[in-house]
């Protein structure tokens, strides 16, 4: 199908009326973007068919009368014809498989590189902003997991989001991962992602309260949230990390908040083993201090 794209630059008081004019004349919806502080750009789409010219005329007639209704007139209106590409698959062009460290490959489900690689493959389709492996704070965690996960480890992923780190840990050999998440929507998405990766039986998705009640002793804990939350969770993280050589990866720390996190971890029985940086982001690898 071909479409006519109608674009109208609108003063603020007329934006509601312009949107309504487009929808009363056949547009199934409209899009709005800001255009400086004194205008929005409103766009609507009509199918190119026998009704198009009549609809466009009615829209123009209505705009011409805005003054009578006590509204500012739209600044200008343009119409251009567009083809209807396959928008559903168009976006896939932008997303490619990415390697992390020596062993990991994070790969969209439609990419063929998932087969024929000796890397541990995490299948993850980009989507809502819950961690798709593209952000520096998550990259730091994936690289650290790549180095630290050994076969048979028990792992906790505090603030799992899409489940990317929990799934990666299992793919790298962890026996089981306890993954907690405060929001219901990412919990559901994490469960779907674990299922898609064939690791649902090795990832237990929990609410923060459930994790707090369970407090499994883990060889490795990863917490990829933000500095303030890591500080708040430091006592729990300390309880989760095995006292004999267990490790913590804490990420999502902007450089100016680093000191706060370091202090909280030390106060809760950790020793800072290593600090990694990517742009303004810091990730801490910490170990429980030996009991004296």
Partner 1 sequence: MAKKVTAVVKLQIPAGKATPAPPVGSTLGPYGINMMEFIKSYNERTAQQVGSIVPVEITIFEDRSFTFVTKTPPAGDLIKKALGIASGSGTTGKTTVGTLTQEQLREIAQTKMPDLNANDIEAAMRIIAGTARSMGVAIEQ
Contact pick of 32, 183, 244, 274 for partner 1 (by CB under 8 A): 32
In the numeric block, which tokens belong to residue 62?
Answer: 């209505």
CB 3, min distance to partner 1, A: 6
**Binding of residue 27 to partner 1 (CB under 8 A):** yes
**Binding of residue 69 to partner 1 (CB under 8 A):** yes
Pick the closest to residue 236 from 266, 211, 272 (CA basis): 211
CB 1, min distance to partner 1, A: 8
**Contact window for partner 1 (CB under 8 A) among 63-71, 203-211, 240-248, 263-271:** 63-71
**Binding of residue 238 to partner 1 (CB under 8 A):** no
**Contact window for partner 1 (CB under 8 A) among 5-13, 113-121, 204-212, 235-243:** 5-13
Neighbouring C-beta atoms of residue 164, cutoff 10 Å: 25
In degrees rounded to 5, what are phi and psi of residue 16?
-65, -45
Residues 166, 118: Cα–Cα separation, whole Å:
20
- Burial class, 75, CB count within 10 angstroms (exposed 0-12 / middle 13-18 / buried 19+): middle
Q: Which residues pair with 78 in a beta bridge?
A: 7
Positions 186 through 225 that interact with partner 1 (CB under 8 A)? none
Q: Encode 56-66: b = buried (16+ Cβ within 10 Å), e = exposed.
A: beebeebbeeb
Residue keyed to tokens 């980009």? 126
**Binding of residue 82 to partner 1 (CB under 8 A):** yes
Pick the closest to residue 281 from 260, 259, 254 (CA basis): 254
**Binding of residue 132 to partner 1 (CB under 8 A):** yes
Q: Which is nearer to partner 1, 39 or 233 (CB)?
A: 39
Residues 4, 11: Cα–Cα separation, whole Å:
23
Q: Encode 203-216: b = buried (16+ Cβ within 10 Å), e = exposed.
A: bbbbeeeebeeeeb
Contact pick of 125, 147, 212, 228 for partner 1 (by CB under 8 A): 125
**Contact window for partner 1 (CB under 8 A) among 58-66, 115-123, 148-156, 204-212:** 58-66
List contacts with partner 1 (CB under 8 A): 3, 5, 12-14, 16-17, 19-21, 23-25, 27-34, 43-45, 58, 61-62, 65-66, 68-71, 82, 84-85, 87-88, 90-91, 93-95, 125-130, 132, 134-135, 185, 226, 254, 280
């Amino acid at each position: 199908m071909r479409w006519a794209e109608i674009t109208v630059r609108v003063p603020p008081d007329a934006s509601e009326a312009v949107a309504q004019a487009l929808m009363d004349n056949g547009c199934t919806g409209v899009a709005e973007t800001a255009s400086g502080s004194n205008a929005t750009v409103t766009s609507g789409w009509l199918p190119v068919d026998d009704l198009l010219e009549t609809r466009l005329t009615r829209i123009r007639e209505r705009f011409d009368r805005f003054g009578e209704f006590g509204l500012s007139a739209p600044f200008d209106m343009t119409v251009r014809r567009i083809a209807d590409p396959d928008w559903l698959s168009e976006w896939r062009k932008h997303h490619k498989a990415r390697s992390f460290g020596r062993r990991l490959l994070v790969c969209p489900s439609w990419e063929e590189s998932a087969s024929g690689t000796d890397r541990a493959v995490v299948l993850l389709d980009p989507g809502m902003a819950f961690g798709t492996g593209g952000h520096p704070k998550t990259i730091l965690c994936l690289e650290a997991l790549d180095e630290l996960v050994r076969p048979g480890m028990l792992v906790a992923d505090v603030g799992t989001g899409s489940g990317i780190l929990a799934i990666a840990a299992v793919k790298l050999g962890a026996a089981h991962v306890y993954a907690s998440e405060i929001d219901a929507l990412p919990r559901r998405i994490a469960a779907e992602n674990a299922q898609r990766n064939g690791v649902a039986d090795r990832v237990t998705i929990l609410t923060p309260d459930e994790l707090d009640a369970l407090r499994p002793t883990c060889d490795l804990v990863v917490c990829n949230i933000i500095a303030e939350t890591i500080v708040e969770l430091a006592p729990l993280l300390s309880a989760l990390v095995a006292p004999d050589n267990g490790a913590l990866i804490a990420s999502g720390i902007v450089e100016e908040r680093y000191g706060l996190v370091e202090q909280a971890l030390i106060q809760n029985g950790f020793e800072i083993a290593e600090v990694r940086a990517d742009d303004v982001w810091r990730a801490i690898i910490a170990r429980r201090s030996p009991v004296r």
